[in-house]
Amino acid sequence: MELIKIAVMGLNEGKQLQKQCLDAGAEIVLNHNDETCNRGCSVTVEVHCKESDLEIVQNIFSKNYMDLLDGHDVDLKILNETFDPSKETAICPACGFSFSTKDSECPDCGLMF
């Protein structure tokens, strides 16, 4: 059974995802890799799954993301904005403020680019 790496995340987050996947009928494996993972105060692990379970895992990621946004007034179009210094203006993905790309910080909320 060949596994594919799908993420690197905190150990606790990985364990929660692992339980959600098992409940949905998919199995993920949490591995430590010295090249990509941290130890100490902030332990991270690589998350691997079978390619045949990838759609289930993606649906769980999407549901978890939408749950985080629930109750917030979020404009997904603005959230997906990127800072392009070759343009004259940018829209802050955090607050929606339009500003000059000569600035490396949103003058409204302080998000750094």
The tens-digit pLDDT sequence of the chain (113 residues) is: 789 999 999 999 999 999 999 999 999 999 998 888 888 888 999 999 999 999 999 999 999 988 988 888 777 777 777 788 888 998 888 888 999 999 888 999 988 88
Q: What is the pTM of this model?
A: 0.65
Q: Which amino acid type is present at position 14?
A: G
pLDDT at residue number 74: 73
pLDDT at residue number 64: 93
Q: What are the sequence ranges of the domains in the chain? A: 3-69, 73-113
CA 62 to each of CA 42, 68, 96: distance values in angstroms, whole numbers, following the listed order: 24, 10, 23
CA gap 40, 56 in Å, rounded: 31
Say if CB 107 and CB 99 are below 8 A apart.
yes
User: Which value, in Å, is the radius of gyration of the alpha carbons in the chain?
Assistant: 18
Q: Which residue has the tokens 């759609």?
A: 55
